[in-house]
Copies of this chain bind each other. A is one copy, B any other.
Amino acid sequence: MPATNLPTRATIREVGLRDGLQSIQKILPTERKKEWVRDAYAAGQREIEVGSFVPPKLLPQLADTAEVLAYAKTLPGLFASVLVPNLRGAERAIAEGADLMILPLSASHAHSLANLRKTPDDVVAELAKIRAARDAAGSRTLIEGGVGTAFGCTIQGDVQESEVLRLLQALLDAGADRVSLADTVGYANPAAVSRLFEKALKIAGDRFCCGHFHDTRGLALANIYASLELGVERFDASLAGIGGCPHAPGASGNASTEDLAFMLASMGVGTGIDLPQLLALRAKVADWLQGEPTHGTLWRAGLPKNFQPSSLRP
């Protein structure tokens, strides 16, 4: 069946500052992170995951998350999210006034134990505590439960669809405002995405908010296209495709923001992003991260001759 009903607009949530930088040894100075946020905002990005409230000892690259978040909050209309691994991180996200905090859960029990040192159901219980703390604080920080390794895992291999869906429902029941699905290790394919996301949308309705795809095997954009066909309107992506999960051997490269922005714009799906400005930022960030692996194709090929910049802000 052809794609006749793509959404007219979609949001790219920039995760380069979190998922990208956490997997790179080099520590990007705070001033450069702010410059990244500033330029991304100027290029039209309106949702940015600015960091993670994890102990600085574990991820020194993200130790300045509070400062980057405070800067992001000065930009009108920018929706700033952070990743939180537990209640402790969530308390910081609430205190610092993040717009959204994302609690990752791994549907693979083996990966969950290796990555978070908790079972998936422990994470669901943690989300309930986070919800209670948020409500008690009278905070407006939204809570997203993100189910990762949703298409398989490098440690245990298969992850059952039924288990992914059970955990999605459990997160909603525990008080998540939103849920999302992630192909943490690049095992998804468009047919599997169609199958799983259709069921996830039936469970979560408009509380299903985002797809997160790694490009490990070159299928991130095809997977995103399959999700778009179902009406999914928000995708995580990372400038220059940096990132990947440090606890999933072989996983590397998020969907690259600039390639995704190009795909969406060329299909007439509005993102609000100015591509030449985004490519200029991409060049700057790639320069800052010299020596680290970067990805993507548009930066090298350039925009097509018949590309209509007007299609960028429909």
A residues lining the B interface (CB < 8 Å): 1-6, 152-158, 185-187, 189-192, 194-195, 198, 215-219, 221-222, 224-226, 229-230, 250, 252, 256, 259, 262-263, 266-268, 296-298, 301-302, 304-306
Given contacts A187-B304, A189-B266, A192-B266, contact A297 B215 (CB under 8 A): yes
> Chain A interface mostly helix, strand, loop or mixed?
loop
14 A-B pairs with CB atoms under 8 Å apart are A3-B190, A3-B191, A3-B194, A3-B229, A154-B304, A157-B305, A185-B304, A186-B304, A189-B263, A191-B266, A191-B268, A216-B297, A219-B221, A250-B301
Contact at A229–B1, with CB atoms within 8 Å? yes
Given contacts A217-B259, A297-B216, contact A267 B305 (CB under 8 A): no
Contact at B268–A186, with CB atoms within 8 Å? no
Contact at A194–B2, with CB atoms within 8 Å? yes
Contact at B2–A217, with CB atoms within 8 Å? no
Shortest A32–chain B CB gap in Å is: 26
Given contacts A1-B3, A189-B266, A226-B225, contact A250 B194 (CB under 8 A): no
Shortest A300–chain B CB gap in Å is: 8
Contact at A301–B217, with CB atoms within 8 Å? yes
How far apart are the CA atoms of A2 and B1 in the complex, in Å?
8
Given contacts A3-B1, A297-B217, A298-B217, contact A225 B305 (CB under 8 A): no
Given contacts A2-B229, A5-B1, A192-B266, contact A153 B305 (CB under 8 A): yes
Contact at B158–A306, with CB atoms within 8 Å? yes
Instruction: From A158, A185, A189, A216, name the one whose CB has the most chain B CB atoms within 10 angstroms.
Output: A189
Task: List, in ascending order, chain B residues with CB within 8 A of A218's CB.
Answer: 221, 256, 259, 263, 296-298
Shortest A161–chain B CB gap in Å is: 12
Q: Which residue of B lies closest to A6 (CB)?
A: B191
How far apart are the CA atoms of A304 and B156 in the complex, in Å?
11
